């Protein structure tokens, strides 16, 4: 057979394979549209994460759950444990095991890797003693068929703010493509839009709230004699920090996305920025008159659908923001 003949036969075989599958499967990568996980796999992933989280929290040892977290949640978790291990080397004397119960698994159907799902859970960590019914929404990702499930995002919201997800006849959810144009802001653009908004006040696509307009105003009006404050916000939207979203019955979507934030304090001569135990544990350099704190943050937002007329159709609502100190630098 000639080289051209072999190439034609190969293309034909690949075409048949693609057309006969429920979706498309190639020898180089799985492209068939499948559930992100079975419910039993999801339940095991949640248990494995909870067990590892509790072991790490009890010992203040980041190594004990390092293989069960990733993305923004992983960065925050690992830095926090590292800091606490530094100043509490004997572990957490007040450890209370995390319990995640009353679980609903929201599993999207998608092609390729990574695959992921959302665990909608009740927790025993309500700070108000249980007066407000809150839900912990934990996202789990798996990068390949032999990889472990890892928790990448966490959002804590009142139960009343958990939307109804769009489900098909098999009870599977619909993921939102990062570059999809059905929403007023594409998921891939959320981190850029959010950090630009914090810096400049535009684009004006976010609803007023504690994580948007109020935070901007707080930073603008922060005053302390002898100190100046500078803030830099950077998008974080690739790899394990990429956005993940699910379509909701109202036509919009619930989306998780990440961002990075720097706070720089510069003191006048004779003064010095305060350094607490967490900052000291994660700090490089020595503070003379300048301290820069680096935080990673995850946001859980509701993004409305784009109106057919082209109008925005509403604003992005930040339902929860989870920030965590990951590094500091003294100068």
For 233-290, write each residue's pLDDT tens digit.
999 999 999 999 999 999 999 999 999 999 999 999 999 999 999 999 999 999 999 9
| Complete DSSP assignment for 176-195 | PPTT--SBSS-GGGHHHHHH
Compute the distance between CA of residue 133 and CA of residue 65 in angstroms, rounded to an integer.
Answer: 28
- Asked if 101 and 135 count as a contact pair (C-beta separation under 8 A), the reply is no
- pLDDT computed for residue 32 by the predictor: 87
Compute the distance between CA of residue 194 and CA of residue 316 in angstroms, rounded to an integer.
Answer: 10
CA 246, 251, 257, 262: dihedral to nearest 10 degrees?
-170
Q: How many CB atoms lie within 10 A of CB 290?
A: 17
**Residue from 306, 206, 300, 323 nearest 246 by CA:** 300
For 12-43, write each residue's pLDDT tens digit.
333 333 333 333 344 344 678 999 999 999 99
Backbone angles phi, psi at 214, to 5 degrees: -70, -35
Which pTM was predicted? Answer: 0.89
Angle, CA of 312, 317 and 322, to the nearest 5°: 145
Mapped onto helix, strand or coil, the DSSP state of residue 135 is strand
Strand ranges inside the chain, DSSP E: 33-35, 100-106, 109-111, 115-123, 134-142, 150-158, 227-236, 244-247, 253-267, 283-285, 290-303, 317-330
For 61-115, write each residue's pLDDT tens digit.
999 999 999 999 999 999 999 999 999 999 999 999 999 999 999 999 999 999 9
């Amino acid at each position: 057979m000639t080289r051209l003949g072999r190439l034609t036969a190969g293309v034909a075989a690949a075409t048949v394979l693609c057309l006969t599958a429920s979706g498309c499967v190639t020898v180089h990568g799985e492209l068939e549209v499948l559930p992100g996980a079975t419910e039993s796999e999801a339940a095991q992933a949640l248990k494995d994460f909870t067990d590892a989280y509790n072991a790490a929290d009890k010992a203040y040892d980041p190594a004990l759950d390092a293989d069960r977290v990733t993305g923004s949640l992983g960065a925050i978790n690992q830095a926090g444990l590292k800091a606490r291990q530094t100043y509490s080397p004997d572990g957490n004397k007040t450890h209370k095991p995390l319990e995640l119960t009353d679980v609903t698994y929201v599993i999207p159907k998608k092609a390729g890797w990574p695959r992921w799902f959302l665990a909608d859970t009740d927790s025993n960590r309500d700070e108000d003693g249980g007066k407000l019914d809150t839900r912990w929404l934990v996202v789990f990702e798996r990068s390949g068929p032999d990889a472990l499930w890892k928790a990448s995002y966490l959002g804590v919201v009142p139960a009343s703010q958990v939307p109804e997800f769009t489900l098909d006849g098999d009870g599977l959810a619909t993921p939102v493509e990062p570059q999809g144009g059905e929403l007023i802001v594409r998921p891939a653009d959320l981190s850029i839009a959010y950090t630009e908004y914090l810096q400049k006040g535009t684009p004006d696509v976010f609803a007023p709230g504690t994580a948007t307009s109020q935070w901007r105003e707080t930073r603008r009006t922060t005053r302390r004699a002898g100190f100046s404050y500078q803030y830099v916000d950077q998008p974080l939207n690739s790899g394990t920090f990429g956005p993940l979203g699910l379509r909701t019955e109202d036509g919009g979507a619930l989306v998780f996305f990440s961002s990075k934030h720097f706070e720089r304090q510069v003191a006048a001569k004779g003064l010095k920025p305060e350094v607490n135990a967490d900052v000291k544990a994660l700090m490089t350099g020595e503070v003379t008159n300048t301290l820069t704190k680096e935080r990673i943050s995850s946001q859980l937002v509701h993004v409305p659908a784009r109106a057919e007329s082209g109008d925005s159709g509403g604003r992005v609502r930040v339902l929860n923001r989870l920030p965590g100190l990951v590094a500091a630098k003294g100068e």
